[in-house]
Structure 1
Amino acid sequence: MTPDAILALYEWTIGGCFRCGQVDLFVTHVDEIVTPSGDRYELSSCGSCVLAMEEERRRYAERRGRAYEPGGLTQGEP
């Protein structure tokens, strides 16, 4: 699957990337952190970081003998 096809699987908005620290660029929601006091912080990632994380997911699936399905970052899959 091409990088553009993988990125098309996600919804994008302007924000900051938790992984590389860049701000004011297109990001997608990937997870959230909930503190013990109940505060919620959204974790969003830019396209470059999404592709890097998808590659990590693909290699992990390959090592485990599992099928890799791109687009799973927002679904809580390893």
Structure 2
Amino acid sequence: MTPDAILALYPWALGTCFRCGEADVFVTHLDAITTPHGERYELSACGCCVLMLENERRRYAGRRGLDYRPGSLGS
């Protein structure tokens, strides 16, 4: 699957990438975390970081003999 096809699996909006810190770029929502004090932080990643995370998932699946299907980060 091409990088463009993988990125097309996610919805995008302007925001800040939690992984690389780039601001005002297109990001996709991955998850949210809540601190022990009850503060909630949304985690979103830019396209470059999404592709790196997807590559890690693909490599992990390969090592474990599992099927890899892109598009489910944050699920």
**Given the two structures, how large is their TM-score scaled by the length of structure 2?**
0.96
Question: Would you identify which runs of 4 or more consecutive aligned residues in structure 1 move more than 4 Å?
Answer: none
In the comparison of the two structures, how many residue pairs are matched?
75
Return 5+ residue gaps in structure 1 as ranges.
Answer: none
Q: How big is the alpha-carbon RMSD for the aligned residues of Structure 1 and Structure 2? A: 0.7
1:74: how far off?
A: 2.1
Q: 1:74 maps to what in 2?
A: 74
Amino acid of the structure 2 residue aligned with 1:40: R
Query: Distance in 2 between the 1:73 and 1:9 partners?
Result: 10
Amino acid of the structure 2 residue aligned with 1:19: R
Return 5+ residue gaps in structure 2 as ranges.
Answer: none
**Given the two structures, how large is their TM-score scaled by the length of structure 1?**
0.92
